[in-house]
Amino acid sequence: MSTTEKLLNLLGIEVPIVEGGMAYIGDGRLAAAVSQAGAFGQVGSAGRSLADFEKQIQIAIESTNRPFGVNLPIGEHSDPRERVELILKYKDHLRAVSISAGNPRPFIPVFQEAGLPVMVVVSTAMHAAKAEQSGADILIAEGTEAGGHNGPAELTTFALIPQVTRAVRVPVLAAGGVADGRGLAAALALGAAGVQLGTRLVATVESPAHDAYKQAILQAKGEDTAMIERSIGRVTRVLKSPYVSEVLEFERTQPSVDELYPYIKGEKNRVGAVEGDLAHGFAYSGQGCGLIESIPPVDDVIRLMVEEARAVMRNLPAF
């Protein structure tokens, strides 16, 4: 069985495309739309109160009979235990959990004992091998092209995926920079079982992103993203804007984490992404923004990506 078949079976989906966890954006409606299209939707816990996380899971349950999952970025929550409890409460409605931003090891058996396969986000081959040894069912290898928090090694997707797929046996999803069918075909050629999308799904009809944020992604070329938080040892890819220039300017003064925090806290992401006020807040985007030229329904994104990938694979030049 190919790793793509394993992936499709584990997640109960028709096409090898997964919605990445997305702070403020990955709500129940978007997750359901992705799952309805035959891919795998995920409700994100980042940027949500516990009550809202539960509400979004319920919305997804009511909106689709297809399988979907949840994303738990461990480090984003001061105490992830209450989120873990909530996920376990809904275990019969969920198909899988993805874990990011922290050590997944203590959490993997907890979810697996509840019958939930676990996907772990990694950014190096070593990290991937460790996660596999800890029992991860699927790995999400995320390159530095991706929107949002990235791994500190800053490996590109093109270099990372074959290194990870060589190091592990479990299915690997390629994340970072995939925004069309060519990206999906390339990921499969590099040994991935499928892809995880972030930025492409922000600019869709069903996405709760503010229209100003969706339009900013449409306008952005590949060079219109920047990394913030480098001065404190983290790397976070966002859309360039005057606000982001101010943050970068301040970072040149080598502020402490506490000094920088007011500029980079989640609330500033909410202001940019949900309120669309990009003068007073920031919004995540991957470099794939340069490929995004429309705001279609999710179903079109998934269908066209699969059609295009199949055509690309059929028409690859022989030599």
What is the size of the binding site for ligand FMN (CB under 6 A)? 29
* Alpha helices in the chain, H assignment, sequence order: 3-11, 28-36, 50-63, 81-89, 108-113, 125-133, 157-167, 181-189, 199-202, 211-219, 242-251, 257-264, 266-273, 298-314
Minimum distance, C-beta of residue 289 to ligand FMN, in the bound complex (Å): 8
| Residues 111-150, mask of contacts with ligand FMN (x by CB under 6 A) | ----------x--------------------x--xxxx--
44 forms beta bridges with 71
d(CA 190, CA 312): 14
Minimum distance, C-beta of residue 171 to ligand FMN, in the bound complex (Å): 15
Binding status of residue 199 toward ligand FMN by CB under 6 A = yes
Binding status of residue 204 toward ligand FMN by CB under 6 A = no
Return the SS3 of 107: coil
| Residues 169-198, mask of contacts with ligand FMN (x by CB under 6 A) | ------xxxx-----------------xxx
d(CA 163, CA 233): 24
Q: Evaluate whether 225 touches 286 at the Cβ level (below 8 Å).
A: yes
Q: Which is nearer to ligand FMN, 170 or 173 (CB)?
A: 173
Residue of 8, 10, 13, 46 that binds ligand FMN (CB under 6 A): 46
Binding status of residue 151 toward ligand FMN by CB under 6 A = no
Binding status of residue 276 toward ligand FMN by CB under 6 A = no
Q: Evaluate whether 247 touches 263 at the Cβ level (below 8 Å).
A: yes
Phi-psi category of 191—alpha, beta or left, where left has phi over 0 and alpha has psi -120 to 50?
A: left
- In the complex, the residues that contact ligand FMN under the rule CB under 6 A are 20-23, 25, 44, 46, 71, 73, 100, 121, 142, 145-148, 175-178, 196-200, 202, 284, 286, 288
